[in-house]
A and B are shown apart, each in its own frame.
Chain A
């Protein structure tokens, strides 16, 4: 079947991608996962209710399952793959490693992206700041370690490095 496609250009983790979309309402999440094969950002609910799909658009935390991809044109999209690397981890990732936060791990990229965005705005968040801003859902129950990790990341230095180029 012939489908009218729309070309969009997205900048993900510093690299430009041209995508031909059949449906212009396609959420950013699915463009990343199904068109670009960038799998670190997860699907949880499709209704922006759980935060598993959280990433950054121009440094703001965005729940990408309900965010039309075309709205991200001309902006900097950062996913967990671009937050930091194994060689140069983001402070949030350093803290997550130190506190051994993940269990199943599925919701963790969304939490780390939400935490990194919080630290960008509030470098030394209080418990109340964390409660108010980190509203994602984790079924394994890693909240206790996450809170410790966010405070630890703040101590390491919560400012984000410039998005790194995507490594092949």
Chain B
């Protein structure tokens, strides 16, 4: 706990008074001082994605309006993970207001909120937790001080409750307090309350975006409109590595509804009066792509074989090389591989941009508002502050929106026509221009001692860029770190009692864009390691639960990991035997400090692998909202199961295929487990990572169950029978 708040106690609060004194705005920074160095050290140890930012300008703001509105401008975006609700629950504990009274909104960059790292890495709640508490407490004390002045009473005689400051039975609402105030005293941070006294922490408060999302009122990027808006469409390649060589736009230019053809060095697009007209005209552009049509899936698989590329030792204990040479027993070896994965989020990418002379407005679904703003500004030769980036709800993020360079295209086209332009991908373009989860190849070695424990262990993982392709990551970091910590996420050995082990990450640059997919390398690396653990347990003649437990350290992290393994096994009634055609498989991982263990119950029906039930035990530390944490577990389990059983992109003559849902098979209602049981443990007194860690064990848990059913161990994703 102390560790998590270190370095951010000297907090700077900035108070803004609205023009004419009609409210109170208070903000604070949350980026750590010298975050780069601190976090650099932290992620070397843990693989935890760092927050990176160069600014200590305030990025988190509260506004109290005379109408008694309490608005929290979130620098982080809501993409389904439930942070807007969690933030309100935390703030309410210091502000003494009902959680429903706090309105959480996406902050446009013009409001002063810019988060240079973005939303990802399961970092939002845990990074904002200490900051939001002190900001809320400070705001409360300022309101009390002003109320004391208005009531002519000492602050010590005032209390706060239900959104009002009270003196006996007299009270003022927060809105009444801010009314007309011109000057606010510069506040000190008051002591924070005990977390146990926060009324909304640990309660299943319904999501604060629930009604909007149920009644069709939530606005996503693609729903944004501006007056006089036109529609853009950009020709996009179907082949990997394709560059625009030339384009014949003559036929497109003469088509109905076309306003302008935009030919830039790096793209060709069309602006028209409707989406249909824009799409039709774009399809009529004859583009000559400079593309290599020689690539096949097997070429890509060959590139990422362990042994190619550059190796980086990411973790090491004892001397694994010597142990493999000298320790008794045979070397057990296995290989695993996983395919190219698509994000396939339902809302396609795109943006609405309006560029006037010296300022631009861009509205879109992005996980990196600050970075998107910078990209647009650079392309338009504007200052960053001249671009107002307005984030909306995301129709799925999953890491796909950590690069939104398409915002530039809408902006360039808008400047060309002098009107707002909305430009979106179609689905085929989305599939073929994704920044994919890279394929991976993993090789694992181990030796068993005569006592039946693991005496030596080596994990090698190889794939393409994951975090190295992340725009906001400073290039120097890449050079310093060498290895791609996104690619090896999930590749650290959590079995610290193995005397000699090492983990190695091989980095290969692929000929197409690869990047962040929910949990990054977590799903695939855990698939290999936890499948192999299961295999070793069987070879050692031990049960997979006890076998895991005997290799985990007794330190705090180890105890938390052991607890989730025990809890999942117990709740599921874990057994090795196949009963009634159903087998169980167990797997566990620790990601970003949050351990998760899943037991999958699997059967084979009509020749297909069926996941009947998943029992999940998860320890994200302090749970702000148990229902929403459960929802994240369920979502990770289903998305991970979909990747484990069905999803696969391939390359044929340089083309990325398939291009549509269906052929790119994903889990549907009929495939999802009939039952998902989630046990939440709280092994820490501060909130930890939630959005990705439960992704880790699911593929291995399913694979381990399939092994029990068929006697054959799955060595690759998607898992297929025969």
Contacts and interface: CB of A to CB of B under 8 A. Distances in A.
A37 interface: yes
Interface stretch (B152-160, B459-467, B630-638): B630-638
A86 B672 contact: no
A144 B634 contact: yes
Interface string A25-69: 110001001100101111111110110100000000000000000
Given A49-B662, A143-B638, A131 B345 contact: no
Contact of B427 (A34, A46, A86): A46
A157 B206 CA distance: 23
B673 interface: yes
B231 A34 contact: yes
Nearest to B224: A39
B108 interface: no
Given A37-B225, A104-B393, A135 B668 contact: yes
B273 interface: yes
Given A46-B427, A107-B346, A139-B639, A86 B211 contact: yes
A22 B666 CA distance: 36
B535 interface: no
A137 B639 CA distance: 11
B345 A144 contact: no
Given A30-B276, A49-B660, A100-B207, A43 B398 contact: no
Name A's interface SS: loop
A133 B711 CA distance: 35
Contact of A141 (B212, B424, B635, B670): B635
Contacts of A85: 215
Contact of A102 (B207, B394, B636): B207
Contacts of B347: 42-44, 104, 106
B276 A23 contact: yes
Given A46-B427, A97-B210, A104-B80, A145 B668 contact: no
B257 A140 contact: no
Contacts of B675: 144
Contacts of A112: 214
Interface in B327-354: 343-348
A26 B225 CA distance: 19
Interface in B619-674: 627-628, 631, 634-639, 642, 660-662, 666-674
B231 A100 contact: no
B317 to A, nearest CB: 36
A161 interface: no
B445 interface: no
B213 interface: yes
Nearest to B343: A139
A22 B628 CA distance: 45
Interface string B669-687: 1111111100000000000
Contacts of B216: 39-41, 79-81, 83, 109
Contacts of B82: 103
Interface in A85-133: 85-86, 89, 93, 96-97, 100-109, 112, 127, 130-132
B274 A26 contact: yes
A137 B668 contact: yes
A9 interface: no
Interface residues of B, number: 70
B672 A43 contact: no
Contact of B80 (A103, A143, A146): A103
B518 to A, nearest CB: 10
Main secondary structure of the interface of B (DSSP, over half): loop
B641 to A, nearest CB: 8
Contact of B638 (A26, A40, A131, A141): A141
B292 interface: no
B398 A139 contact: yes
A42 B346 contact: yes
Nearest to A39: B223
Contacts of A146: 669
A30 B628 CA distance: 33
B100 to A, nearest CB: 14
B217 interface: yes
A152 interface: no
A42 B223 CA distance: 8
A45 to B, nearest CB: 4
Given A34-B231, A100-B206, A141 B634 contact: yes
Q: Residue among A25, A79, A89, A106 with the most chain B CB within 10 A?
A: A106
A142 B80 CA distance: 11
Nearest to A93: B214
Given A137-B661, A141-B637, A100 B631 contact: yes
B405 interface: no
Given A49-B660, A141-B634, A100 B210 contact: yes
Contacts of A86: 211, 215
B625 to A, nearest CB: 10
Contact of A104 (B217, B344, B394): B394
B719 to A, nearest CB: 18
B106 interface: no
A50 B207 CA distance: 25
A23 B213 contact: no
B8 interface: no
B257 A1 contact: yes
Contacts of B395: 42, 104-107
B189 to A, nearest CB: 34
A10 interface: no
A26 B427 CA distance: 17
A46 B431 CA distance: 13
B633 to A, nearest CB: 10
Contacts of A145: 631, 634
22 contacts: A22-B277, A23-B277, A37-B225, A39-B225, A43-B222, A47-B660, A81-B216, A84-B215, A100-B207, A100-B628, A100-B631, A103-B82, A104-B347, A105-B218, A107-B346, A137-B666, A141-B639, A143-B638, A143-B672, A144-B634, A144-B676, A145-B634
Given A105-B218, A106-B220, A141-B672, 6 more contacts: A1-B258, A45-B427, A81-B215, A85-B215, A103-B635, A144-B673
Interface of B: 79-82, 206-207, 209-220, 222-223, 225, 231, 256-258, 273-277, 280, 343-348, 393-398, 424, 426-427, 627-628, 631, 634-639, 642, 660-662, 666-676
- Nearest first, the 5 closest Cβ-Cβ pairs linking A and B are A40-B216, A141-B638, A106-B395, A104-B80, A103-B80
